[in-house]
Structure 1
Amino acid sequence: MDLVEVTPRLHMFRFPIGQAYLWRDDTASGTELTLVDAGNVTSGPEIEAAIRSLGLRPEDIRRIVLTHCHRDHVGAAGELAGRYGAEVVAHRLEAPVIRGERPVPEPVLLDWERPLHAHGLTVPEAPPTRVDREVEDGDDLGFGDGAYAVHSPGHTDGSIAVHLPRHGVLFTGDCVAGVQLVMVGVFNTDRERALASFRRLAALDPATACFGHGDPLTRDTAKVLAEAAARDSSAG
């Protein structure tokens, strides 16, 4: 796993497949940490070690926000939440899948996505994981000076992005990818809905965009997102 500083308050944990993010809030009562996604089921010890390497404490993880139900995002959430008493947060439509009450939805794959999808399935399955709070579009997530959920369906029905408007930061989940070029994410259950969600996220004009796959975008971010959303939409 690689540990990457995005901003002084924001770090990325990059795994062989997928990544997660750590946000730090310094409050009057002390440091509070938020994870956005949690890697795969084997990622817990690496996340804990990385947090300690930053001079922080895993015990200060207050919440884990899951952008969607896939195994490379949910994997270690249950372990970390159970160990440190963190709240697990997900969209209302995604929560039954994360809990194991409904199957993970099958994507409608484009031909060129098939080998990539097969490679992604080498990640161990995520165990059923509790969800403590189910959110809707626009709900306050309790960190980052006003972070809120942005329902962005298409990758899955209950996918969310996380927007921190006061800091200009947007976590896109897998709605948007930044591998080689910025583009709508792959393995979607409904590509047209995913494209509409991409356009909505681009219109938020973030200064920093953090993707589920690919390096964060920190320069000309709003322009790059808008141009990519327009290009992908016109391509269909």
Structure 2
Amino acid sequence: MEIIELLPSLHMLRFPVGAAYLWSDTEGGTDALTLIDTGVAGSAEEIAAAVRGLGRDPADIHQVVLTHFHHDHTGSAAEIRARYGAAVLAHRREAPVIRGEAAGAPPVFAEWERALFDSLPPLPPAPPVPVDRELEDGDTIDFGGGAEVVWVPGHTEGSIALHLPGPRFLFTGDTAANVEGRTMPGVFNSDPAGALASFRRLAALDVDVACFGHGEPVTAGASAALRAAAGGLGD
């Protein structure tokens, strides 16, 4: 795992597949850490080591926000919750899948996506984990000056993004990606038309920095990059 500092308060944890993000709120004497997604199952010790390497205690992870149920995002949530008592947050429509009570809808592949998907190594299944807070569109999560939940169905039914209006940050989950210098909608969507509509919703936000589940963050002019990509989608 690679640790990349985007801000003193934000680090990207880049795994062989996907990424998680660690946000630190230290104003007012607090030491709260928020983890956005958790990598695949078995990543908890790497995440803990990264936190220690930043001079922090993994027990300071007080909440884990899951952007959607896929194994490369929820894989280590159960272990982190069990070890450190972190609350797990996810959208209401995603919560039954994350808890292991229901199956999530599979992707609807374009022909080119099927070949790409079949070329990828299988991921270890994510152990079920309780969801301590079920989120809705427009909810606010207490980090980064108030993170707004943006419901972006399409990749999965309960996918969310997180918009931080104060620092002008956006965590897109897999609704968007930035691969080989190209900002674009994410792939492997359960509702492709809905995913494009959700991508356009993110492109309408006013942000400087965008952090993706897959690919490099856009650290300046993120709105322009998202809008340019949305403008090329057609109807």
Please classify the TM superposition score into its range, dividing by the shorter chain length.
over 0.9
Give the corresponding residue for 1:208.
209
User: 1:38 Cα shift?
Assistant: 0.5
User: 1:119 Cα shift?
Assistant: 4.2
Structure 1 position 195 matched with structure 2 position 196: yes
Percentage identity across paired residues of the two chains:
54
Give the distance between the partners of 1:62 and 1:106, measured in 2 at CA: 31
Could you say what secondary structure the match of 1:148 adopts?
strand
After superposition, residues 82-93 of structure 1 pair within 5 angstroms as: 82-93=82-93
After superposition, residues 148-227 of structure 1 pair within 5 angstroms as: 148-180=148-180, 181-227=182-228
Give the corresponding residue for 1:145.
145
- Amino acid across the alignment from 2:191: D
After superposition, residues 44-193 of structure 1 pair within 5 angstroms as: 44-120=44-120, 122-180=122-180, 181-193=182-194
Give the distance between the partners of 1:119 and 1:50, measured in 2 at CA: 30
User: 1:116 Cα shift?
Assistant: 2.6
- Amino acid across the alignment from 1:106: P
Could you say what secondary structure the match of 2:13 adopts?
strand
8 Å Cα contact 1:17-1:123 kept in structure 2: no
TM-score, L = length of structure 2: 0.96
Structure 1 position 13 matched with structure 2 position 13: yes
Give the distance between the partners of 2:95 and 2:174, measured in 1 at CA: 17
Give the corresponding residue for 1:42.
42
Unaligned runs of 5+ in 1: none
- Amino acid across the alignment from 1:9: S
- Amino acid across the alignment from 1:104: G
Q: Name the count of aligned residue pairs.
A: 234
Could you say what secondary structure the match of 1:13 adopts?
strand
Give the corresponding residue for 2:2.
2
Give per-residue Cα distances to partners, 1:160-206, cap 9 Å, x unaligned: 00111101110000000111211100000111111111111111121
8 Å Cα contact 1:17-1:120 kept in structure 2: no
8 Å Cα contact 2:207-2:221 kept in structure 1: no
User: 1:215 Cα shift?
Assistant: 0.4
Could you say what secondary structure the match of 1:101 adopts?
coil
8 Å Cα contact 1:138-1:150 kept in structure 2: yes
Distance 1:29 1:130, change over 3 A: same
- Amino acid across the alignment from 1:109: F
TM-score, L = length of structure 1: 0.96
Unaligned runs of 5+ in 2: none
- Amino acid across the alignment from 1:36: I
Could you say what secondary structure the match of 2:96 adopts?
helix
Structure 1 position 231 matched with structure 2 position 212: no
Give the distance between the partners of 1:214 and 1:106, measured in 2 at CA: 22
Q: CA RMSD in A?
A: 1.1
After superposition, residues 16-31 of structure 1 pair within 5 angstroms as: 16-31=16-31
Structure 1 segments of 4+ aligned residues over 4 angstroms from their partners: none
Could you say what secondary structure the match of 2:172 adopts?
strand
Give the distance between the partners of 1:110 and 1:139, measured in 2 at CA: 33
8 Å Cα contact 1:156-1:188 kept in structure 2: yes
